[in-house]
A and B are shown apart, each in its own frame.
Chain A
Amino acid sequence: MESLPVLLGLAVLAPLASFFVILLLGPSLGHGGKSAAYVAIGAIVLAGLLSFISLGIWLANHWPEAPHDDHHAAASEHAGDAHEGESQNAKSAHDSHASEGVAGDSHAASHHGSTPPKVSGEYYVLAKIGDLQLSISYYIDSLTIAMFCMVTLIASCIHVYATGYMHDELHDITDHEAHTADGEHVHRPGRFHRFFQYLSLFCFSMLGLVLAGNVLMVFVFWELVGICSYFLIGFYIERKSATNAANKAFIVNRVGDFGMIIGLMAIWSSLGTFAFDELFEAVRPGPSHVLQTPDGMVYASAQDRVRDIARELGPDATPDQLETAIQERATTENWRNVGPDGKAPGYGYWLLIVAGVGIFCGCVGKSAQFPLHVWLPDAMEGPTPVSALVHSATMVAAGVYLAARFYPFFAPEVLFVIAIVGAITLFMAATIAITATDIKRVLAYSTISQLGYMMLAIGMGGWLAGVMHLVTHAFFKSLLFLCSGSVIHAVHTNEMPEMGGLIKKMPWTAYTMLIGCLAIAGAGIPFVIGLSGYYSKDAILEQGHLFMTTNPGWGAVFFWAAAGGAAITAFYMFRMWYMTFLGKPRNHHRYDHAHESPWSMVAPLVILAVFAVGVAWPIPFSSLRLSTLLEQARPAGGLNDMQGVLVNMVWPNEHDSHAASHVIPATLIAFGTALSGILLATMFYVWQPHLAGEVRQQFSPIHRFLVNKWWFDELYDWIFVKPTHVVSGVAARFDRNWIDWIVDGSAKVTRRFAYGWEWLADRVVVDGFVNVFAGWMYSLGLATRRVQRGNLREYVLFILVGALVLFVVISIFRVTYAGGS
Chain B
Amino acid sequence: MVPLVAQITVSHYLVVGAVLFVTGAVCMATKRNILGVLMGVELVLNGANVNFIAFGSPFLREHHLGLDGQLIAVFVIVLAAAEAAVALAIALNFYNNHTTIDVDRAEDLKG
Q: A residues engaging B (CB < 8 A)?
A: 785-793, 796-797, 800
B111 touches A788 (CB 8 A): yes
Q: How far is the CB of A156 from chain B (nearest CB, A)?
A: 91
Query: Which segment, of B8-16, B23-31, B63-71, faces chain A?
Result: B23-31
Q: Does B106 interact with chain A (Cβ within 8 Å)?
A: yes
Question: A787 — which chain B residues lie within 8 A by C-beta?
Answer: 111
Question: Contacts A792-B37, A793-B30, A793-B32 known; A800 to B107 CB distance under 8 Å?
Answer: no
Residue of A nearest to B37 (CB): A792
Partner of A790, one of B25, B37, B110: B110
Q: Does B104 interact with chain A (Cβ within 8 Å)?
A: yes
Q: B residues engaging A (CB < 8 A)?
A: 25, 28-32, 37, 40, 103-104, 106-111
CA distance A791 to B104 in the complex (A): 6
Question: Contacts A797-B29, A800-B29 known; A792 to B103 CB distance under 8 Å?
Answer: yes
Partner of B111, one of A789, A792, A796, A800: A789
CA distance A792 to B103 in the complex (A): 6
Partner of A796, one of B29, B104, B106, B110: B29
CA distance A790 to B108 in the complex (A): 7
Partner of A793, one of B29, B107, B109: B29
Question: Contacts A793-B32, A800-B25, A800-B29 known; A788 to B103 CB distance under 8 Å?
Answer: no
Q: How far is the CB of A431 from chain B (nearest CB, A)?
A: 106
B109 touches A790 (CB 8 A): yes
Question: A796 — which chain B residues lie within 8 A by C-beta?
Answer: 25, 28-29, 37, 40
Q: How far is the CB of A251 from chain B (nearest CB, A)?
A: 82
Q: How far is the CB of B111 from chain A (nearest CB, A)?
A: 3
Residue of A nearest to B26 (CB): A800
Question: Contacts A792-B37, A792-B103, A793-B104 known; A785 to B111 CB distance under 8 Å?
Answer: yes
Q: How far is the CB of A787 from chain B (nearest CB, A)?
A: 8
CA distance A805 to B106 in the complex (A): 28
Question: A786 — which chain B residues lie within 8 A by C-beta?
Answer: 111
Question: B31 — which chain A residues lie within 8 A by C-beta?
Answer: 793
A790 touches B106 (CB 8 A): yes
Question: Contacts A793-B103, A793-B104 known; A788 to B25 CB distance under 8 Å?
Answer: no
Question: B110 — which chain A residues lie within 8 A by C-beta?
Answer: 788-790
CA distance A785 to B110 in the complex (A): 9
Question: A792 — which chain B residues lie within 8 A by C-beta?
Answer: 37, 103-104, 106
Residue of A nearest to B27 (CB): A796
CA distance A790 to B107 in the complex (A): 5
Question: A790 — which chain B residues lie within 8 A by C-beta?
Answer: 106-111
Question: A788 — which chain B residues lie within 8 A by C-beta?
Answer: 109-111
Question: B29 — which chain A residues lie within 8 A by C-beta?
Answer: 793, 796-797, 800
Question: B40 — which chain A residues lie within 8 A by C-beta?
Answer: 796
CA distance A791 to B29 in the complex (A): 10
CA distance A786 to B111 in the complex (A): 7
Interface centre among A785, A788, A789, A796 (most CB of B within 10 A): A796
CA distance A757 to B96 in the complex (A): 61
Question: A789 — which chain B residues lie within 8 A by C-beta?
Answer: 107, 110-111
Q: How far is the CB of B34 from chain A (nearest CB, A)?
A: 8
CA distance A790 to B28 in the complex (A): 15
Q: Other than the known A793-B30, A796-B28, what 17 A-B pairs have Cβ atoms closer than 8 Å?
A: A785-B111, A786-B111, A788-B109, A788-B111, A789-B107, A789-B110, A790-B108, A790-B111, A791-B103, A791-B107, A792-B103, A792-B104, A792-B106, A793-B28, A793-B29, A793-B103, A796-B37
Question: B107 — which chain A residues lie within 8 A by C-beta?
Answer: 789-791
List the 5 closest pairs (A to B, CB-CB), nearest first: A788-B111, A790-B110, A785-B111, A792-B103, A790-B107
Residue of A nearest to B110 (CB): A790
Q: How far is the CB of A809 from chain B (nearest CB, A)?
A: 19
Question: A800 — which chain B residues lie within 8 A by C-beta?
Answer: 25, 29
Question: B28 — which chain A residues lie within 8 A by C-beta?
Answer: 793, 796
CA distance A786 to B32 in the complex (A): 22
CA distance A91 to B103 in the complex (A): 137
CA distance A792 to B38 in the complex (A): 12
